[in-house]
């Protein structure tokens, strides 16, 4: 078994769970690789943790069986910039708070290995969205994809922007709002949900258009097929607006056409039998909870 481990920052208590994972992997005689900067962070407390390393551009290939992310959902979003189109299955150990992607409790970290070895899991392929290279946004020339959402939003102003929107070259509407979110099913439980968007199961073949604080009160989130090509053009009082891919942000000149579409590859997530998406909804969103019962 060949395993890559990644994390961004950690609390002192997190190190204990990383060590537990490493101990469990050692029992399986696994080949372990730590992300270069993560190993440096860990070595400030434990200088005996010496493993092979990888970076964002080197050290990973399609021979890895698992990529373990230590942190919250934001760490998972960062992890996909390492995995890219290599097809390495990802699992998240949640050391943060909510965690829709990082579903495994850190206290159960040994089960990540045990249940994987037992085969008590399925691989769920998550679709991504991308800014087409035709959009000519240099900041996204390489990492032009997002697992959760692509968002256009206002910059340097409190005034709203107008987002002219086309679906497969047919005019849809012009959103007068703070911005517009194009979310994947995975991203339906993120920013889109906070702005009133629906929850969609991860394997649905769809995308969501969710306006951010729209002034048109009849503007509502719209679910569309994931093979739709979306064209966006922003206008407003300022010269520029923001385009974000998950947490990566670029400044784009107003009037430039942004083409958004489904990416040509997927991210494989490990869904353990004990940690399903529906169970996560009940636990994280408290579905079914009622103080009257």
The residues carrying an active-site annotation are 73
Which of 228, 148, 158, 137 has its CA nearest to residue 181?
A: 148
- Reading the block at residue 127, the tokens are 């679709």
**88: phi then psi, degrees, rounded to nearest 5:** -75, 125
Question: What angle, 0 to 180 degrees and rounded to 10, lies between the N-to-C axes of helices 109-118 and 12-27?
Answer: 20
Tracing tokens 């979306």 back to the chain, one arrives at: 230
Report the length, in residues, of the chain. 293
List of residues 6+ apart from 41 with CB closer than 8 A: 7, 9, 10
Alpha-carbon Rg for the chain, nearest whole angstrom, is 20
């Amino acid at each position: 078994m060949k395993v890559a481990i990644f994390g961004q920052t950690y609390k002192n208590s997190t190190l204990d769970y990383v060590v537990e994972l490493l101990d469990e992997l050692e029992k399986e005689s696994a080949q372990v690789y730590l992300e270069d900067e993560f190993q440096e962070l860990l070595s400030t407390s434990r200088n005996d943790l010496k493993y092979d390393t990888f970076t964002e551009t080197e050290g990973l290939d399609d021979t890895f069986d698992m990529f373990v992310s230590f942190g919250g959902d934001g760490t998972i979003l960062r992890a996909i910039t390492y995995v890219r189109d290599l097809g390495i299955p990802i699992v998240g150990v949640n050391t943060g708070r909510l965690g829709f992607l990082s579903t495994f409790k850190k206290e159960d970290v040994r089960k990540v290995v045990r249940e994987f070895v037992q085969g008590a899991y399925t691989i769920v392929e998550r679709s991504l969205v991308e800014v087409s290279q035709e959009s000519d946004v240099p900041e996204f020339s390489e990492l032009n994809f997002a697992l959760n959402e692509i968002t256009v939003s206002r910059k340097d102003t409190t005034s709203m922007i107008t987002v002219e929107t086309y679906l497969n070259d047919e005019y849809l509407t012009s959103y007068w709002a703070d911005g517009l979110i194009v979310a994947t099913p995975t991203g339906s439980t993120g920013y889109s949900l906070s702005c009133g968007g629906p929850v969609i199961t991860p394997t649905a073949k769809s995308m969501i258009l969710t306006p951010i604080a729209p002034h048109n009160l009849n503007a509502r989130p719209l679910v569309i097929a994931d093979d739709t090509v979306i064209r966006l053009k922003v206008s407003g009082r300022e010269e520029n607006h923001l385009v974000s891919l998950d947490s990566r942000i670029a400044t784009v000149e107003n009037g430039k056409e942004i083409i958004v579409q489904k990416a040509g590859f997927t991210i494989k997530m490990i869904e353990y039998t004990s940690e399903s998406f529906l169970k996560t909804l009940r636990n994280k969103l408290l579905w079914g909870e009622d103080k009257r019962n």
